[in-house]
Structure 1
Amino acid sequence: MPQPPDALDAVAVRTWCSLALDALGREREAIDAINVYPVADGDTGTNLYLTVESAAAAVEAVFAAHETGTTVPAPADVVRAMAHGALIGARGNSGTILAQLLRGMAGVLAEAGDADHLRRALAEAAASARLAVAHPVEGTVLTVATAAAEGAGAAEPGAGLTAVAAAAYAGACAALARTPERLAVLGRAGVVDAGGQGLVTVLGALLEAVGGRAPAGPVLRAPGGTSGGTPPLTGACAEADPEGGPAFEVIYLLEASDEAVGRLRTRLDALGDCLVVVGGDGLWNVHVHVDDAGAAVEAGVEAGRPHRIRITHFAADRMRAHREPVHREPAQRAVVVVVPGDGLLGLCAEAGATTVLARPGEPPASGELVDAIRRAHAREVVLLPNDAELRHTAAAAAEQARAEGVRVALIPTRAAVQGIAALAVHEPGRGFDEDVVAMTAAAGATRYAELAVAERQSWTTAGICQAGDVLGLIDGDIAVIGNDVTGTARTVLDRMLSAGGELVTLVLGEEVPDALAGVLEEHVREGHLAVDTVIYRGGPRTTPLLIGVE
């Protein structure tokens, strides 16, 4: 039998990730079955598995990219890759917290992987995870993480790596068994905390990686549960009010500064609950439960650049399905869209939307938007303002329409191409909430750009521009200064597609020749074979070119 390593080196970290992924794969369904907090949506095991899968893939990428032969990657590179992979792939409340735990550990283990550093790493992980959660609750994975750190810290002075890992695992197991005593919803359901169970599984894999053998004993369950089976859930679903909490889970990666994220935390905390913001160094993973998914995404847009946006409707009816079927009456629904040009006016009208034309320098007032909502003659309305400057105007119109008995969902689209993307996935036949989720996700996944002509010399974020220069604005900021429309458009497209994309939407202004469409379509095809391009004419009053990348 090989000797246990005296340090958590690159190979040991790789083994840990692999063992954790295998263990969560075996336990995924059982952990899903005991998921009753914070929302009984039965996906904690799956979310943890997907989070660790992303971490393991990042570790494998480091090994694959490293020089083959007698050397291996530096341990620091591997632990940082593990943490980064978990961050970008984190799913759900528990997965997001696990990502922060791994990030906290990586910051210390990058220095060294000996027993003393493992103690410090576990302590840092527990502390950083608590800071990431807006309102920490005892009896959850946070409690288990703290107990693991305390267990490792209480190990005998001079204890080796395996002994410290074993002490951490034992502390976590003991704390997990007590979670039903600390969180009432767990006690009523007769289960331990699902996120805590997942962390115990990950720590068990760590112990196996450094100690050479899997921890003995069955997977822990609270009294009344079973090992490896489905525990009783009658208390949880019957007593919880599925309509008492927010309707949506919103998760996205965010590129933003620390200062902007601080403001974002405050805003999201006021919008909903289960807020967890993890990460740092300019990249964050944001998780929150809200009723207004659009507002949560909009808050991210204001803080920085959100991407990989995922919005999940908790489907409260599914939680009650064992009691009685739920029947919905069909609802008359409409979409109200603000458009900047006659060409898009016709396009959106053909798609069945009620349109409001925004003239240059004359944005519509809230009264015009209310009139459009009334003209739609619908009980349910989705409002797409398609302009960041119209956010407050659209919100005021939505409030007035709601006072008149219309159910209005405001999706904070900031450009016409985002509105087009949202309208493309609109399906009146499905439930209102599901339709709003799909439209919000489509809009949020669409980056936007436009070309404009500088009217005078001025300072910009891309440098000094002269009158007549062609400006390329990406997500509202001037990113490119060019001499002509074609060259500037190519540069803007290349910058946008460098981050990936599946579909490019081009909206050409009235003065732009038809030939430009073919030139840009060919440019996209040459550099990005898997990307499709669609082209529309914006007509009068449209800027030279609008670009959307989904």
Structure 2
Amino acid sequence: MDGTALLRWGRVCLDDLADRREEINALNVFPIADADTGTNLLATMRAAMAEVRTRGPVDALTTHDVAAAMARGATLGARGNSGIILSQVLRGIADAVRGGPLTALTLRDALRRASVLVRDALSEPIEGTILTVLDCAAASAASCRDASLADVALAAADGAAKALGDTPSQLGVLRAAGVVDAGARGLVVLLDALVSITLGEIPARPEYSPRASVAAQPVEDSGETGSAEPRFEVMYLLADTDADRIARLRARLAELGDSVVVVGDGEGRWSAHVHCADAGAAVEAGLAAGELSGIRIESFAQHGREMASGHPLAPVDSAGKLDGPADRGVLAVACGDDAAELFEEAGAVVLAGDDGVTAAELLAAIRAMPNREVLVLPNGALPAHDLVAVGVAARDAHRDVLLLPSASMVQGLAALAVHDRGRIAVDDAFAMSEAAATTRWGSLRAAGERALTMVGTCEVGDGLGLVGHEVVVIDHDVRAAGRTLLDRMLAFGGELVTLLMGAAARDGLAGELVAHIGESFPGVEVTVYSGGQHGDLVQIGVE
């Protein structure tokens, strides 16, 4: 099979998984009876195929190009425990076809490799699952010597189907429900699709469905997962890590819960999965292991966190105001001593960020807050994916954390100006977020090196005017750059300008900028504060 044929197999897998999705979902009682294994497998295969489409014209792709793209797409887009395992089946194929097409020999190698990858990825292998069935498929393929690719594919599929029928005898929770393993059923669908491509025939399989007498009854966790009351399924992607950190992550997730799978795509990206009672701790473990993204948390519980924690929301009056002050605090990241004082005077607890702030430092600061509700003004200290990870890790049954979209200190000050503890948390956070979002912000800097920007090349010492994070003005005269920047920012209107002066701002700069606003934009109110921040000579907010 070349790349085109492998892609055709992927399309057949999509069609067959779509046809069998409800059947597979109905079998799903292990490790959690949440009836989504078929849906997760289909979503993961869709992600695999979508990645191939990003690699250019299909007829120009080799077998390995297609297989590697499918493995990467499945790893990054995996849904659920079964989806992550599917990604490793695809990675096994990718590893096996590095030197040429998929043949009888490389298919045997692919299944053997996939079996090893899956076992290595699991913290606690459970027999009677897709793991066992994949082993049997690999063993059946290995025993089919001197045969064609179609013969090996059929042997693997038949071996998997036989092992699938044996799963209830190996796992008590399956036996009690009268079902075979759902993930393993999905694997048989994939192998049967390979047979249909190579042999031109679809093997006949029985209809796998739960016993009618127990199909509608909830199935209790038999305890075979080794976990106590998992409440959440947590998944995320990792980069910028290594094998040792991944091993430590896998061990830590095993301490927190069960159904732990941590896999790689072979190209430096990893996907982690766990069922646990403490989603925040699982995310925190990921923060320690590498750069997180794509965090997804699904709750198995039917009740809200407030009900489960025994800490109901404070009562509100007919106007939506809290009956009494909220147990709420604001944490703000600030650069510069004077800026820190501004936030403190406005009622915030300050995390000093003069030398930068790490995700771990922000998480620790949130956890040190004594309040039940914490509103966080990050003020541009961390990228969005780190903030998401910190927010998830910081929340627990006794604390609600809301991270507000303040990308600069001037936006943070605007948000803090409308903070009202008399409102319920979501209303307070909305008002503050709106104030931050409607504050256009920019900054004036002196170039520290020669660099290419979107508006040209700057030289050392040039004045740079930025709107948000983009350079829009370059001028050899720093003060002139500041005036031009104000013209650009006020061209769209504005009633209030806030100037937050940096530690390196020269004497007279603030007065010159205020005078320019008064001459060019009469009626606009200007407020000047000393911030003391490094880097930005001035931060500018326009409301």
Instruction: Note if contact 2:241-2:291 (Cα within 8 Å) is conserved in structure 1.
Output: no
Give 1:109 deviation, angstroms.
2.3
Q: CA 1:253/1:365 → structure 2, altered by over 3 Å: closer, same or farther?
A: closer
* Aligned counterpart, 2:197: 209
Instruction: Note if contact 2:24-2:185 (Cα within 8 Å) is conserved in structure 1.
Output: yes
RMSD: 5.1
Instruction: Note if contact 1:451-1:544 (Cα within 8 Å) is conserved in structure 2.
Output: no
* Aligned counterpart, 1:257: 241
Q: Say if 2:299 is the partner of 1:313.
A: yes
Q: Say if 2:132 is the partner of 1:140.
A: no
Give 1:102 deviation, angstroms.
1.0
* Aligned counterpart, 1:83: 71
Q: CA 1:110/1:544 → structure 2, altered by over 3 Å: closer, same or farther?
A: same
Between the aligned residues of both structures, percent identity stands at 35
Give TM-score scaled by structure 2 length: 0.65
Give 1:108 deviation, angstroms.
0.4
Q: Which digits, 9 at most, give the CA deviation of each residue in 1:41-92, with x for residues without a partner? A: 2211111101001112223444x535xxxx5522121111111121121111
CA distance in 2, matches of 1:204, 1:418: 55
* Aligned counterpart, 2:217: 234
CA distance in 2, matches of 1:471, 1:249: 48
* Aligned counterpart, 1:117: 106
Q: Say if 2:141 is the partner of 1:152.
A: yes
AA matched with 1:65: P
Q: CA 1:329/1:20 → structure 2, altered by over 3 Å: closer, same or farther?
A: same
* Aligned counterpart, 2:254: 269
CA distance in 2, matches of 1:109, 1:367: 46
CA distance in 2, matches of 1:87, 1:298: 21
Q: Secondary structure at the match of 2:348?
A: strand
Give 1:266 deviation, angstroms.
3.1
AA matched with 1:193: D
Q: Which digits, 9 at most, give the CA deviation of each residue in 1:126-170, with x for residues without a partner? A: 111110111111111111111110111122x21111111011001
* Aligned counterpart, 2:48: 55
CA distance in 2, matches of 1:85, 1:299: 24
Instruction: Note if contact 1:355-1:372 (Cα within 8 Å) is conserved in structure 2.
Output: no
Q: Say if 2:161 is the partner of 1:161.
A: no
Q: Secondary structure at the match of 1:21?
A: helix
Q: Secondary structure at the match of 1:234?
A: coil
* Equivalent of residue 34 in structure 1, options 23, 27, 41: 27
* Aligned counterpart, 1:301: 287
Q: CA 1:366/1:266 → structure 2, altered by over 3 Å: closer, same or farther?
A: closer
Q: CA 1:198/1:368 → structure 2, altered by over 3 Å: closer, same or farther?
A: closer
CA distance in 1, matches of 2:484, 2:286: 37
* Aligned counterpart, 1:356: 349
CA distance in 2, matches of 1:521, 1:23: 58
Give 1:369 deviation, angstroms.
7.7
Q: Say if 2:396 is the partner of 1:408.
A: no
Q: Secondary structure at the match of 2:272?
A: strand
Q: Which digits, 9 at most, give the CA deviation of each residue in 1:9-58, with x for residues without a partner? A: 21221111001000111111221222111112221111110100111222
Q: Secondary structure at the match of 2:8?
A: helix
Segment of structure 1 superposing worse, 259-268 or 270-279: 259-268
Which residues in structure 2 correspond to 1:82-481 (within 5 Å)?
A: 82-112=70-100, 113-155=102-144, 157-221=145-209, 224=211, 232-234=215-217, 236-237=219-220, 244-258=228-242, 259-279=244-264, 280-317=266-303, 330-332=312-314, 335-341=328-334, 355-358=348-351, 373=370, 380-382=372-374, 384=376, 407-408=398-399, 417=407, 469=448
Q: CA 1:418/1:382 → structure 2, altered by over 3 Å: closer, same or farther?
A: farther
Q: Which digits, 9 at most, give the CA deviation of each residue in 1:496-519, with x for residues without a partner? A: xxxxxxxxxxxxxxxx96975886
Give 1:244 deviation, angstroms.
3.8
* Aligned counterpart, 1:507: none
Instruction: Note if contact 1:119-1:152 (Cα within 8 Å) is conserved in structure 2.
Output: yes
* Aligned counterpart, 1:476: none
Instruction: Note if contact 1:45-1:194 (Cα within 8 Å) is conserved in structure 2.
Output: yes
Instruction: Note if contact 1:256-1:284 (Cα within 8 Å) is conserved in structure 2.
Output: no
Give 1:415 deviation, angstroms.
11
Q: CA 1:367/1:276 → structure 2, altered by over 3 Å: closer, same or farther?
A: closer
* Aligned counterpart, 2:464: 486
CA distance in 1, matches of 2:490, 2:184: 51
CA distance in 2, matches of 1:14, 1:247: 38
Q: CA 1:10/1:543 → structure 2, altered by over 3 Å: closer, same or farther?
A: same
Instruction: Note if contact 2:93-2:110 (Cα within 8 Å) is conserved in structure 1.
Output: yes
Give 1:489 deviation, angstroms.
8.0
Q: Secondary structure at the match of 1:407?
A: coil
* Aligned counterpart, 2:3: 10
CA distance in 2, matches of 1:184, 1:29: 23
Q: CA 1:154/1:543 → structure 2, altered by over 3 Å: closer, same or farther?
A: same
Give TM-score scaled by structure 1 length: 0.64
Give 1:100 deviation, angstroms.
1.3
AA matched with 2:246: V
CA distance in 2, matches of 1:349, 1:209: 70
CA distance in 1, matches of 2:282, 2:450: 30
AA matched with 1:205: A
Instruction: Note if contact 1:356-1:369 (Cα within 8 Å) is conserved in structure 2.
Output: no
Instruction: Note if contact 2:41-2:82 (Cα within 8 Å) is conserved in structure 1.
Output: yes
CA distance in 2, matches of 1:50, 1:367: 36
CA distance in 1, matches of 2:156, 2:220: 33
AA matched with 1:308: G
CA distance in 1, matches of 2:153, 2:364: 64
CA distance in 1, matches of 2:236, 2:483: 37
AA matched with 1:120: D
CA distance in 1, matches of 2:159, 2:31: 23
Segment of structure 1 superposing worse, 355-364 or 87-96: 355-364
CA distance in 2, matches of 1:519, 1:219: 67
Instruction: Note if contact 2:21-2:42 (Cα within 8 Å) is conserved in structure 1.
Output: yes
AA matched with 2:263: V
CA distance in 1, matches of 2:269, 2:35: 28
Instruction: Note if contact 1:253-1:286 (Cα within 8 Å) is conserved in structure 2.
Output: yes
CA distance in 2, matches of 1:52, 1:428: 43
Q: CA 1:407/1:349 → structure 2, altered by over 3 Å: closer, same or farther?
A: farther
Instruction: Note if contact 1:359-1:541 (Cα within 8 Å) is conserved in structure 2.
Output: no
Q: Which digits, 9 at most, give the CA deviation of each residue in 1:413-433, with x for residues without a partner? A: 799759999999xx9699xxx
Instruction: Note if contact 1:453-1:470 (Cα within 8 Å) is conserved in structure 2.
Output: no
Number of aligned positions between the proteins: 433
